[in-house]
Amino acid sequence: MHTTHLTDGDWVVEATGLTKRFGDRLAVDGVDLRVARGSAFGFLGPNGAGKTTMIRMLLGLTPATAGSMRLLGRPVPDERTAALAHVGAIVEEPSFHGHLTGRENLAVAAACRAPEAHARIDPALDRMGLLDRADDRVRTYSMGMRQRLGIARCLLADPVLLILDEPTNGLDPAGILEFRAFVHDFVAEGRTVFLSSHLLDEVEKICDSVAIVDRGRIRTQGPIAAVSAGARPRVLIACDDNAAASALLAADPAVAHVQAADGGLSVELVDRDDAAVADLNRLLVDASIAVHRLEPARVSLEERFLEVTTQLGVPT
């Protein structure tokens, strides 16, 4: 979803200059963030990047040191209760009463909400694939089942916005596919999912837009295609002498990095320049190296993530 034409009413999450200090440690550093209504938004970063702290501030669970934020157009913490009436959230692993059944746990949660929440218990269990285990005690549930029960509990509020911290933890492959389908259907209803994760592949499959966070700062954000496109361009080259080609290309000033890939070479360029690609082809041909394949590579979100975070030692 492109956000250039969105108005103020189309943002379900807004943060400006959001900062959190724990003593001398700066956990969240001047974050500006906007999440569009009716989207699946990925909040992506390595462990310890500040993702959970950011979520806790948005939900009013921990006070911000500086900055401002709004949920569903309402300022937090000033109008926190009114905002959270339409928000479902899981922060870290959800907790339940293990001696109660799944249905009983949801009944306890519904008792704290409006009367119509009780009528949503069975539909929520059904939507998360738990109806056949609803009357089993939660202590018999797997971690993945508890994750799904946590989302079912969120649905009791009929939320406009779901904020989920690492929601695919403990899910098996079938559960992950079901979760993807759930997010797709939820967003199709005009609702929004804010999904915090370190699983790049899942975020790329589930989300429309993403923010990449590291060391408490947002390094880049926007539609996934646009964020991925911000990475250095790469070309895939196959030739009759990969070793000679690699040495030749690595010495060229237009090339940032060369590595083996798929029986050929993956060549990362310094700049997005079509002329440079033609020059590289000419360089190889002039050296009597026969080129069988030369094509641009699709840059994944994972490559962009690694480029803008500290995991590869990139200066930030």
Band (212; pLDDT cuts 50, 70, 90): confident
**Domain 8-229 is in which class?**
alpha beta
Task: Return mean pLDDT, the chain.
Answer: 86
246 touches 268 (CB < 8 A): no
- CA distances in angstroms from 296 to 46, 224, 256, 269, 291, listed in the order given: 28, 18, 15, 11, 14
Average pLDDT over residues 40-58: 89
* pLDDT score of 231: 60
Band (3; pLDDT cuts 50, 70, 90): very low
Average pLDDT over residues 197-219: 86
* pLDDT score of 316: 36
* pLDDT score of 205: 87
Q: Is the pTM of this model over 0.85?
A: no
Residue 263 has which token pair?
A: 């029986």
Separation between Cα atoms, residue 84 and residue 129, nearest integer Å: 25
156 touches 110 (CB < 8 A): yes
Average pLDDT over residues 135-161: 94
* pLDDT score of 299: 58
Q: Beta strand pairing status for 74-76 and 66-71?
A: antiparallel
State yes or no: pLDDT of 136 exceeds 80: yes
Band (25; pLDDT cuts 50, 70, 90): very high
- pLDDT tens column, 67-82: 999 999 999 999 999 9
